[in-house]
A and B are shown apart, each in its own frame.
Chain A
């Protein structure tokens, strides 16, 4: 079955510290991978995407993610977290065959402590 797993429901990171959010997927086809961020009461903002090519992708707000096919993972990283990064982060997977139908993980809530 197709699925996306975000193992960490809630993570707290000190401001200025590095961040890594984990994402593992199970998908039959060659995946397209996305990270979205959602602030309370808001819609989803696209942070970055992977379609093909270089497995290390850069996104907005200083985020990056690395696609590791052998581990079926697409972890999100940021070298130095800012208080404004506190939000909920969603990993999603799609494929050309699936069109725009994305499968989302359950999300990871990031809290930033001062």
Chain B
């Protein structure tokens, strides 16, 4: 079974721009969660999507948003980029129901650099 895929793997953007990251979950998984990883703050939960609805949200500003499509693929958008948004963005998929909800499998991440 193919793992979680994320595209693109690397991105360089300029302050003020916006960016969209994509995540395809493991086949059969209906939940997609997003995390930000930085050297200073570590790994932080952004939000979770299940059945095209945001089910849970972390403590990030509204510039960070996401969506999920009917095939469970998810996109994350960051608007008005700031230097502090430079990070590795990780997507994780899980079954989404039952105890399988809590077993998450991560993709390789998208490395975003904001200049």
Give the contacts of A54-102 with B (CB-CB under 8 A). 90, 92, 94, 96, 98-102
Tell me the bound Cα distance from A44 to B35 in angstroms.
11
Contact B45 A101 (CB under 8 A): yes
- Chain B interface, DSSP helix/strand/loop, else mixed: strand
Q: Is the interface of A mostly helix, strand, loop or mixed?
A: mixed
In the complex, whether A42 has a CB less than 8 A from a CB of chain B is yes
Q: Which residues of B contact A103 (CB under 8 A)?
A: 45
Q: How far is the CB of A107 from chain B (nearest CB, A)?
A: 7
| Complexed CA–CA distance, A103 and B104 (Å) | 13
Q: A98-B56, A100-B48, A101-B45 are in contact. Are A32 and B104 (CB under 8 A)?
A: no
A43, A51, A101, A107: which contacts B56 (Cβ < 8 A)? A101
Q: Known contacts A100-B33, A101-B58; is A43 also within 8 Å of B4 by CB?
A: yes
